[in-house]
Amino acid sequence: MNIAIPKETTDGERRVALVPDMAKRLTGKGITVRLEQGAGEQAGYPDDRYVEVGAEVVSDTASLWGGADVVLKIHMPGESRGTDGGGSRHEVDMLREGAVLVGLLYPLTNGDAVKRMVQRKVTSFSLDQLPRITRAQSMDVLSSMSTVAGYKAVLLAAAAVGKFFPMLVTAAGTIAPSKALVLGAGVAGLQAIATARRLGAVVQAFDVRPAVKEQVESLGAKFLEIETVAEAETAGGYAKELSEEQSRRNREVIHGAAVLADVVITTALIPGRPAPLLIGEETVRDMKPGSVIVDLAAEAGGNCALTKAGEEVTAHGVTILGPINLPSTMPHDASRMYSKNITTFLDLLLEEGNLKLDFEDEITSATCITHEGAIRHEGTRRVIEGGSGS
């Protein structure tokens, strides 16, 4: 069994899919781990760390991909940078037929790559499709990366706002703590609440799911109450799209809190849909000059009407940050978390060091995108057959 860890080709990506500690766990089972030269360097894991735990370091990109039984990645494969001197080539095309690929593939928006995998008869698993069940928690890459994003979002806000977060008693007088508002109390939101509280801010939080109130309050934040919204979450625990009337009422509540806040962190996402609009331009206009919005939904269109993904915007005296791929800005620990999740998932696919795919298993079935020249994942198949998957 050969497992390959290629260098990520996505611009700005500094994480690696497997860290040395997890590589050691695999080599200890008699599995061959092959790492593309320099794959872990930007995350603080040099090649020699992998060699120490029995992994091989490979400089030939095509050889790495072509000799792999399983490839562990973070992002969907793309164009190789040709580090082996062979020029640019799509990574999927370098895989042998029947190879297995595991990563955060986001197949609903990467239709062209999915089609390539079908043509190469690649068996692919996408961890963004993990079911929200107890048994899958240790494999939940999205939650791990959301933890990183929620933490880093508060640090960005603290650096951008012109105020202290904590209350300070100084010779020059007492300085009041900053007021933070967190929109969305999923994993990223809860981590943002906890981080803002640790820094000393007074925190309020809003979520359409009343069930999260207890979690919010356990972290020392105030939960913004609103009339209970029926069916505000899916059976899997995710927020779902609301009616226009419900959304309007939510925006009114958010407006009242946002105009009093120094910092607003937005984290609201709906799987497979554009991010819900929570902060309109009229709210930004009424916010305090010098206040800051950090929009973690920027890549999905943004929770704020004025957000621009990957940019910093100043409007009506308010700074609006639209960061993308925040986990990559903390690559060392983000890689450790990702590596632990993906290795645990890999355990599901292996039996005594060999692949054994059980499609009767709920996790295996839900995450499998392509297999034996066909698209197994129903949602992906619908999108691609509808012509909107690329």
Active site residues: 132, 137, 140, 143, 238
Nearest to 6 by CA among 45, 61, 56: 61
SS (H, E, C) 66-91: HCCCEEEEEECCCECCCCCCCCCCEH
Q: Give CA separation, 185 vs 216, 255, 299, in Å.
A: 7, 17, 18
Q: Taking a C-beta distance cutoff of 8 angstroms, is the pair 116, 93 a contact?
A: yes
Q: How many CB atoms are located within 10 Å of the residue 311 CB? A: 12
β-sheet with 179-183: strand ranges across = 222-223, 202-206, 179-183, 263-266, 292-295, 318-321, 312-315
Distance CA 223, CA 148 (A): 22
Distance CA 132, CA 160 (A): 35
DSSP H or E stretch at residue 59: none
Strands 354-355 and 350-351: antiparallel
Instruction: Specify which residues 179 forms β-bridges with.
Output: 202
Q: How many CB atoms are located within 10 Å of the residue 115 CB? A: 16
